[in-house]
Amino acid sequence: MSDLSSKLNTGMVEKYRNNFLKEVEANVEEGDWVKMCMQCGVCSGSCPLGAHWDHPPQELFMMIRAGKRDEVLQSTSMWMCTSCYNCIVRCPRELPITHIMHGLAHYATRLGIEPKGQPTRQFAQLFWDNLAKHGRVNELWLGVNLYFMNGIVEGIKVALGMAGIGLGMLKSGRLSLKELIGGHTVKDKKGFHAMIKKAQELEAARVDGSN
């Protein structure tokens, strides 16, 4: 018997080795549901923002199964999800589609290959950084950071445009200028930070364990 392995085009074998589905199942929240999709398309059709996605959910699921790793993880698509849950409600196989979308986005972020300029991703990061500081969302700073997300000139433009609403909120007590200096926090800020740190350690250990 001749040695078959020497005759194999290992480059092609690697290229077509479909292990991305397994990677998703192991690393993405609710990823083991992906194989259950029967490609009916009701999620894509039901998505209120679907027309703006490069790849609607059922297409993403097919791409995962086809091993299109880079196209999926670098896609802006799952960042478009607004968690309206229309897809989950209508999915005939009860796939937790919303969670899978967030799971894919989160996994791409962990790998550091997420689309950097995507506004939803940027806002999510701003929101998290803001929240993690004091344990409460500082809406004034969140707004300011959001307005200046795309540079100072753009920020001033947006801020001026929103000035009327801002003043109204100040008047009705929905916004406080005190938030600019420190702002409100949770009672035990030290404990809060310790809790977040512990959670991050646990998450890191979980991710390491599954890799």
* Nearest distance in Å: CB 51, other proteins: 6
CA 140 to chain centre: 23
Give the residue, chosen from 8, 18, 26, 45, that forms a contact with other proteins under the rule CB under 8 A: 45
Residues 22-41 that bind other proteins (CB under 8 A): 38-41
Of the candidates 36, 16, 38, 34, the one whose C-alpha atom is nearest the C-alpha of residue 25 is 34
By CB under 8 A, residue 161 contacts other proteins = no
By CB under 8 A, residue 56 contacts other proteins = yes
Give the residue, chosen from 21, 28, 91, 146, that forms a contact with other proteins under the rule CB under 8 A: 91
By CB under 8 A, residue 49 contacts other proteins = no
Q: Are 71 and 39 in contact (CB under 8 A)?
A: no
By CB under 8 A, residue 63 contacts other proteins = no
By CB under 8 A, residue 82 contacts other proteins = no
Q: What are phi and psi of 149, to 5 degrees?
A: -60, -35
CA 69 to chain centre: 16
Which residues make up the interface to other proteins (CB under 8 A)?
38-42, 44-46, 50-51, 55-56, 58-59, 89-94
